[in-house]
Amino acid sequence: MTRRRQAAPKPSADLRRDFRKAVNMTASQLRTWLATPESKEVGFTYEGEHESVGHASGRKIIKMLTGDSFDEAHARKVIGYVHRHLAQRPAGDVSQTRWRYSLMNWGYDPLNRGKL
């Protein structure tokens, strides 16, 4: 029986670079977005919770962008989420879709060209 090796965690500098590539909104843009009704209407919310997973993630991302803290585990979640959901882009105009709104909660606006 052969055991698969787990990949070693990325060094912090590489992870920070990948995080900044995956997040193309500024802390200010994300803060403004999270205050909108649209941002609160998308995403999965656990039973008994009042906030979706993505919306809570957005609040953590703001702290990471402003230098208040850098959570490496959360950075990996953000990178993975953004990459997975970009692969699921719906056809047509995405400007007012739940798909876009969900990504924006995670700090990535697909209409903002640049990064990734």
Contact in structure between 31 and 62 (CB atoms under 8 Å): yes
Helices (H), 1-116: 12-22, 27-34, 37-40, 53-65, 72-86, 98-105
Least reliable range by pLDDT among 6-10, 24-28, 34-38: 6-10
* Torsion angles phi and psi, residue 104, rounded to 5: -65, -35
pLDDT tens digits, one per residue of 30-44: 999 999 999 999 999
Q: Is the pLDDT of residue 12 over 90?
A: no
**Residue labelled with tokens 């997975």:** 84
Q: Quote the pLDDT of residue 36.
A: 97
Domain borders along the chain are 26-43+51-116
- CA separation for the pair 36, 99 (Å, rounded): 16
